[in-house]
Each structure stands twice: as C-alpha cells, then as structure tokens.
Amino acid sequence: MALFFDQSWFDAELARTGASRADVARLLSLTLQQVDELWKDQRELTARDVALLGRFLNQPARVIAERAGVSTPVPDEKAGPDVVIASLSERVEQLEAQVRLLSAEVERLKSSKPG
C-alpha cells in the first residue's frame, strides 16, 4: 500500500486510457484544482471516488485505494459493481460543492453580461 498518493501511477493509468485529470474532475464532480489536491495528497478520496475511479481506469477498487494512500477507504465490492456506498455526509458535501461551483458560474456569467 502506498503511504502517499501515487501520482506517477495514476498519471500512467490516465495516459494508458487516453484520459486526463480534467476527465477525472468531471467523473468525480470536482474542479481541476480539487483533483490537483488529490494528486498532491492534500485531499482524500471517498469510497465513492475509489469505486468510480476503479471503473473508469478498469482497475479493482482495492488497487485504486492502495495507490491512493494509507487512509483511503475501500468501497464494499460485495455490494456489486454498480452499487456505491457513500455516507450521507459525503453526499451532502458533494452536493454543496456542486452548488458552490454552479453559484460561482452564475456570478461569472452575470458579471460578463454587457450593460
């Protein structure tokens, strides 16, 4: 198990699949800055993130968790490949982050409107 997030392994896996960190951002509903924080080990992956990345990179969730660092949760794979178990608080955090992104985009669009 990696002590810290294994950037080079994840970058190699993305290259292998023809994907980018921007694709990971869209997949996980994060900003590119937040994905960069994952890569720098400044942000933790959730069990949901691990499951989604596993499917995206065609790797077992266990491998994703091992490469993401010692504190990364492993989703319950016994529940099946399409079932992602996330706590209510994790989902609320994700929704709040999406609302913040949408609010910022609305404000940006308002400020760029002529007149």
0.75 exceeded by the pTM?
Answer: no
State how far Cα 115 lies from the chain centre: 39
Per the listing, tokens 């490949």 go with 81
Using 50 as the pLDDT threshold, list the residues of the chain that sit under it: 81-85
Structural domains in the chain plus CATH codes: 7-112 (1.10.260.40)
Residue 83: alpha-carbon gap to chain centroid: 16
DSSP 4-34: S--HHHHHHHHHHHT--HHHHHHHHT--HHH
The phi, psi pair for 2, rounded to 5°, reads -75, 140
Q: 10-19, pLDDT tens digit by residue?
A: 999 999 999 9
> Can you give the pLDDT at residue 100?
87
| Two structure tokens written together for 9 | 């392994």
